[in-house]
């Protein structure tokens, strides 16, 4: 069995939930404290042992490529001023070998993954979405890769969500359970009514290359887009696809409230920021006469 050494990171979305901020800045470059969102995703892949990463971009996403490139003038300036800690942080993002391909028109997540088919070839691969950051002792995508090695089948990361929010996600209909691993009867994309469970697909996938046989058909699904979940369901009917309820805390940075709360929580995790952030929150509550519930 081939090990998972390649990853696809789709980053071609328009980021309409964050307008007007994303009119000129890719949503993937919006910072969580002092680091772009997409860097958290790339670092998870690298920590999990992924060797080759391809980012699927679109129009107006050049800032992503620039971020992971060498910034010679900036580095020389920091070196000259002896700001070595900052220099190391800047260099960290340019040490990762990343490939790029452009999705020429926004046709959905399934289409974005399909754009990477030649890079992937006939190997199993990871998909990591930038709308979700996962903090875990063992990288989330590594947990899925280990279960792929155990089962020989594609494995999808899932987490429980409130039933009222199931319409926002792909939802699994579990058939049986072995610990955190689920045998799945079907995958349903954004059910409007009567969701089969509250186990939602959360932005992490290990997929076998056979997925491209279904993505090749370019079939349009929910929202008039080519949905990855639809292709996964067809793959499930052929060779079986598992779901794994991964360990770790998931941060939803794909919508405004989650993004703001993630910034606050991660700022509180910084030893040098924690005390001042707490004082700032208390002052905001006091000045606006808001109760601390």
Q: What is the pLDDT of residue 172?
A: 92
Integer Cα distance of 71 and 57 in angstroms: 20
Is the pLDDT score of 169 beyond 80? yes
Tokens of 64: 């992503």
pTM of the entire predicted model: 0.90
Helices (H), 68-155: 72-80, 84-92, 109-114, 117-120, 140-151
More reliable by pLDDT, 219 or 117: 117
Is the pLDDT score of 165 beyond 80? yes
Mean pLDDT value across residues 9-14: 88
How is 107-123 classified by DSSP, letter by letter? --HHHHHHTTHHHHTTS
Q: What is the pLDDT of residue 198?
A: 92
Q: What is the pLDDT of residue 74?
A: 79
Q: What is the pLDDT of residue 6?
A: 94
Is the pLDDT score of 293 beyond 70? no
**How confident is the model over 116-146, as pLDDT tens digits?**
999 999 999 999 999 999 999 999 999 999 9
Of 22-36, 81-95, 150-164, least confident by mean pLDDT is 81-95
Residue 217 CA to chain centroid, in angstroms?
Answer: 25
**How confident is the model over 67-101, as pLDDT tens digits?**
888 777 878 887 878 877 777 776 766 667 789 99
User: What is the C-alpha R_g of the chain?
Assistant: 20
């Amino acid at each position: 069995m081939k090990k998972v050494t390649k990853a696809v990171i789709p980053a071609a979305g328009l980021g309409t939930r964050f307008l007007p901020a994303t009119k000129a800045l890719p949503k993937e470059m919006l910072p969580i404290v002092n680091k772009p969102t997409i860097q958290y995703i790339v670092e998870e892949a690298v920590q999990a042992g992924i060797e080759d990463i391809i980012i699927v971009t679109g129009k107006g996403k050049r800032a992503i490529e620039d971020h992971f490139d060498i910034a010679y003038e900036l580095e020389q300036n920091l070196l000259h001023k002896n700001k070595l800690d900052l220099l190391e942080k800047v260099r960290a993002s340019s040490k990762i070998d990343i490939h790029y391909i452009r999705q020429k028109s926004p046709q959905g997540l399934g289409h974005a993954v399909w754009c990477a088919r030649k890079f992937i070839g006939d190997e199993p691969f990871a998909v990591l979405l930038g709308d979700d950051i996962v903090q875990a002792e063992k990288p989330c995508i590594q947990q899925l890769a280990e279960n792929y090695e155990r089962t020989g089948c594609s494995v999808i990361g899932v987490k429980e969500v409130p039933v009222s929010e199931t319409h926002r996600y792909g939802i699994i209909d579990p058939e049986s359970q072995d610990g955190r691993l689920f045998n799945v009867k079907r995958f349903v994309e954004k059910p409007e009514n009567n969701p089969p469970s509250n186990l939602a697909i959360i932005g992490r996938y290990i997929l076998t290359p056979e997925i491209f046989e279904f993505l090749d058909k370019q079939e349009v699904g929910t929202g008039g887009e080519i949905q990855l979940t639809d292709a996964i369901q067809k793959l499930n009917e052929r060779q079986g696809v598992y779901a794994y309820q991964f360990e770790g805390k998931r941060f939803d940075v794909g919508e405004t409230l989650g993004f703001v709360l993630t910034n606050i929580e991660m700022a509180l995790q910084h030893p040098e920021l924690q005390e001042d952030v707490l004082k700032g929150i208390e002052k905001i509550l006091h000045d606006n006469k808001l109760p601390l519930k």
